[in-house]
Structure 1
Amino acid sequence: MDDRDGDGDGDDAYAKLVRRMNSPRVVIENDVCEHATVIQVDTVYRQGTLLEVVQALADLNLVITKAYMSSDGGWFMNVFHVTDDGGNKIRDEGILNCIEKALETDAYMVKSMGKMLLSKEHTLVELTGTDRPGLLSEVCAVLTDLSCNVVNAEIWAHNARAAAVIHVTDQSTGTAIEDPGQLSLIKELLYNVLKGLGDYRTPTVSISSPGEIHIGRRLHQMMFAARDFERPLSEDDNSVRPSVTVSDCPDRDYTVVIARSIDRPKLLFDTVCTLTDMQYLVFHGTVNTSSDEAYQEYYIRHVDGLPVSSEAERQRVMECIQAAIERRASEGLHLELFTDDHFGLLSDTTRILRENGLCPKRAEISTKNGKAKHNFIVTDVSGNPVEPKTIYLIRQQMGQTVLQVKGDLCLSPKFPQQTPRSFLFGSFFKCPSFQNFGLIKSHS
């Protein structure tokens, strides 16, 4: 055989051969469980296998209600109980085939459904910095002023830190930005926006060419690098945090991590992603959800084969798992905007949120075929629930725009029983657009 990779890659070539000879075996059953579709995955174990499988399920928007994981003896065995986002079994043959194909594909070729591939027409901008009211609005304003069109973006804020992955194009050409001078100016101005007064933590701005990333995993890595798991002591912090314990299992030389929290989509991915990026291997695990609560139990070792060996390491694992669970938590009002896309739309939208005292804690921005779909999780500047009157004012400013509000609005004495808890703003009978934005003047 002609080994064109050289002797140094012999072990890797052998590992690939073993995987091809032992391709993943996926069995999907709809009859063995009354309330969920059961997916069993058996394959040769290697570092990262569990994360890749969980990532594929999460990107297919499957809700994992139970999971059993085992990887002793060099073989990976996993059973997942899954439903769709409505709590129903997966019965559509097209979706079932898609699940099977995604899980049986060699892990090196697994592509996240729309979340992993970046078009060559985009420029990737990554940001981390100290979160503060109005930060997202200022970032969007800078990009608009520099003729950058935001095509897609995802923004997380947690524990006074913020991270963003943004895909932009040159507004004049609709393609990736290639001019070195323009790229340098974008980086400089964004850095100035992110650099807060008196902040001892340096912000980061990265601009790169297209490549392959998984946005959710990348945001976890960026927040971890920004040390958002370090939580300053505060007597005013009365929030209920996930319960995480890290203890020894001396009989088998494992460390046991147990997490209890409110259940939500992609929870298993977030915890497994964090353990993997912290260089821990999951040898056994159990996940169980009941009502709105989730129980996760993992038996782990470091990649060097050793369990957690110190109290400081134990504390760090606990803090990082808590942060991983909290980053995607939806504590706030969910605003979903769907309208005709145009240049500057995101800048206008975030400015209106800022002027009305709202702070996005998470945002997911997408554009396709001339339409924009923006999702925001928002609170007021103090982190409190949003009042109905604030949403009313936003509607007045945005004009004829379809804005769906999900979740509960806090009740205000000035708006008793007049604002339903889930409703639509705008008209379905008129083309939703932001034509009125040109007439809106800044109040700042």
Structure 2
Amino acid sequence: MKYVSGPYFEPDFDPVLDRFGTPGVVIDNETREDCTLVKVDSVNRDGVLLEMVQMLTDLDLVISKTYISSDGGWLMDVFHVTDQIGRKLTDPSLPDFIQQALVPFHRPGNGPSPRFTTCLGNVVGPGGPDVSDCASLEFTVHDRPGLLSSITQVLVDQGCHVASGQAWTHSGRAAGVLYVTTTAADAAALHPSRWARIERLVNAVVDARENVSGERRWVCMSAPVQGRVHTERRLHQLMHDDRDYEHGPAPTPVDEEHFAMGDRAATTALSALRALVAETRVTIDNWEEKGYAIVKMTSRDRPKLLFDTVCALTDMQYVVFHATAGSQGPLAIQEYYIRHKDGRTVDSNSERQKVSRCLVAAVERRASNVRL
């Protein structure tokens, strides 16, 4: 990918742009016959790429290809999307929804948040479904049969109702986020003193398995709050903090021919055959001249893959300056030009190994998950 120079913005003007700059959103149904192009140009700020990918994912859209450029103070991103059954986007309210959702002063606590009904009938807004009125139970623990059933039974015994939640497993570890409510007649049941009690009871259930030397676990019950972290991003964070990425062999380097050949139709059949047995592969190199680390990934293509990858890079404190993502048949190909927030690239071999392992784990975690 060639270096793309972004426009220069005087630093003194950045706070004004952050306050008054409204993202430009174009829904283009003319350029491509097979998909809609969602084009976003906006003042660049920390975390905005993940917010865009997260939003498009929550809208039940399929992202088939992506081009990202955000050098300088401005970003210009293009997403090739369809709905879940392959149709273009035709809802006239969608551009306005995306604009409002990306403007900082439309966030929770700063006025009403925009809402949108997806093609699958789900009502979503920034950050996904609203769970601000729910308490939250989070846990990471060694996985075992019946674990989730035991935890939810504790909540039921304490007069709680699990409104929604998800649990993931990977490398023998389990992580979960459960959103908990009570009936109106029992509203006092979740007084702060009860949260600590429920946390102790869940800890006891988690500890009731056979003793394992060095067993680690973490359980936290928290009060309802506004603006919770997106549930699936929180699951990534929990499993990363639990170090699920440390297990297994080091990732295999990518096959460079996929990046050299691009989308040539002649390679599609070969790529499809390889993807049948494809493992997630990662190669990280440094482009010293431009000060980037170049991350190349290949894996089996699937929904929400872009979200999982961008989520992992963001939570490891890496900033994506340029990127392309697409597929050759069932094989997904991603390439990212990144720097750490402190300006470093991925300098040491140990750091490259850690970043590679974390990306592979982020791709693989979603393979086994439970939604409540």
Q: TM-score range by the shorter chain?
A: 0.7 to 0.9
- How far residue 116 of structure 1 moved from its aligned partner, in angstroms, is 5.1
TM-score by length of 1: 0.66
| Counterpart pick for 1:190 among 191, 199, 202 | 202
> 1:162 aligned to 2:160?
no
1:20-66, Cα deviation, whole Å (9 max, x unpaired): 33321111100001111001111111221211111111111111111
| Counterpart pick for 1:207 among 213, 221, 225 | 221
Using the alignment, how far apart are the partners of 1:186 and 1:304 within structure 2? Answer: 40
- Aligned counterparts, 1:36-435, within 5 A: 36-95=35-94, 97-103=96-102, 105-106=103-104, 109=107, 113=125, 115=128, 117-120=130-133, 122-171=134-183, 173=185, 175=187, 177-195=189-207, 196=209, 197-211=211-225, 212-213=227-228, 214-232=230-248, 241-329=279-367, 361-365=368-372
1:275-295, Cα deviation, whole Å (9 max, x unpaired): 011010111100112332211
Structure 2 vs 1, CA of residues 152 and 260 (structure 1 numbering), >3 Å: closer, same or farther? same
1:95-123, Cα deviation, whole Å (9 max, x unpaired): 454345434x3376286637253243x22
Using the alignment, how far apart are the partners of 1:128 and 1:173 within structure 2? Answer: 32
Using the alignment, how far apart are the partners of 2:204 and 2:128 within structure 1? Answer: 29
The residue type paired with residue 271 of structure 1 is: T
What runs of 5+ residues in structure 1 fail to find an aligned partner?
A: 1-11, 330-360, 366-444
Structure 2 vs 1, CA of residues 216 and 97 (structure 1 numbering), >3 Å: closer, same or farther? same
Using the alignment, how far apart are the partners of 1:176 and 1:272 within structure 2? Answer: 40
SS at match of 1:117: coil
- In structure 2, the residue matched to 1:371 is none
Structure 2 vs 1, CA of residues 77 and 170 (structure 1 numbering), >3 Å: closer, same or farther? same
Q: Which moved more, 1:32-41 or 1:193-202?
A: 193-202
Structure with larger Rg: 1
Structure 2 vs 1, CA of residues 199 and 91 (structure 1 numbering), >3 Å: closer, same or farther? farther
Contact 2:346–2:352 (8 Å) recurs in 1: yes
The residue type paired with residue 315 of structure 1 is: Q
Structure 2 vs 1, CA of residues 174 and 92 (structure 1 numbering), >3 Å: closer, same or farther? farther
Structure 2 vs 1, CA of residues 318 and 95 (structure 1 numbering), >3 Å: closer, same or farther? same
- How far residue 183 of structure 1 moved from its aligned partner, in angstroms, is 2.4
1:284-339, Cα deviation, whole Å (9 max, x unpaired): 1001123322111001111111111100000000000001111113xxxxxxxxxx
Contact 2:159–2:189 (8 Å) recurs in 1: no
The higher relative CO (CA closer than 8 Å, separation ≥ 6) is in 2
Structure 2 vs 1, CA of residues 233 and 28 (structure 1 numbering), >3 Å: closer, same or farther? closer
SS at match of 1:248: strand
Structure 2 vs 1, CA of residues 302 and 320 (structure 1 numbering), >3 Å: closer, same or farther? same
Using the alignment, how far apart are the partners of 1:299 and 1:226 within structure 2? Answer: 27
The residue type paired with residue 311 of structure 1 is: N
1:323-375, Cα deviation, whole Å (9 max, x unpaired): 1111113xxxxxxxxxxxxxxxxxxxxxxxxxxxxxxx31111xxxxxxxxxx
- How far residue 90 of structure 1 moved from its aligned partner, in angstroms, is 1.0
Identical pairs, percent? 43
SS at match of 2:355: helix
The residue type paired with residue 19 of structure 1 is: D
What runs of 5+ residues in structure 2 fail to find an aligned partner?
A: 1-10, 114-123, 251-276
Aligned length: 317
Using the alignment, how far apart are the partners of 2:187 and 2:370 within structure 1? Answer: 23
1:2-22, Cα deviation, whole Å (9 max, x unpaired): xxxxxxxxxx99744222333
The residue type paired with residue 67 of structure 1 is: T
Contact 1:67–1:286 (8 Å) recurs in 2: yes
TM-score by length of 2: 0.79
Using the alignment, how far apart are the partners of 1:198 and 1:233 within structure 2? Answer: 23
Structure 2 vs 1, CA of residues 292 and 257 (structure 1 numbering), >3 Å: closer, same or farther? same
1:246-265, Cα deviation, whole Å (9 max, x unpaired): 11222312111111111122
Using the alignment, how far apart are the partners of 1:257 and 1:115 within structure 2? Answer: 28
SS at match of 2:149: helix
Contact 1:63–1:85 (8 Å) recurs in 2: yes
Structure 2 vs 1, CA of residues 327 and 124 (structure 1 numbering), >3 Å: closer, same or farther? same
- How far residue 216 of structure 1 moved from its aligned partner, in angstroms, is 1.2
SS at match of 2:50: helix
SS at match of 2:342: coil
The residue type paired with residue 159 of structure 2 is: S
Using the alignment, how far apart are the partners of 2:85 and 2:186 within structure 1? Answer: 37
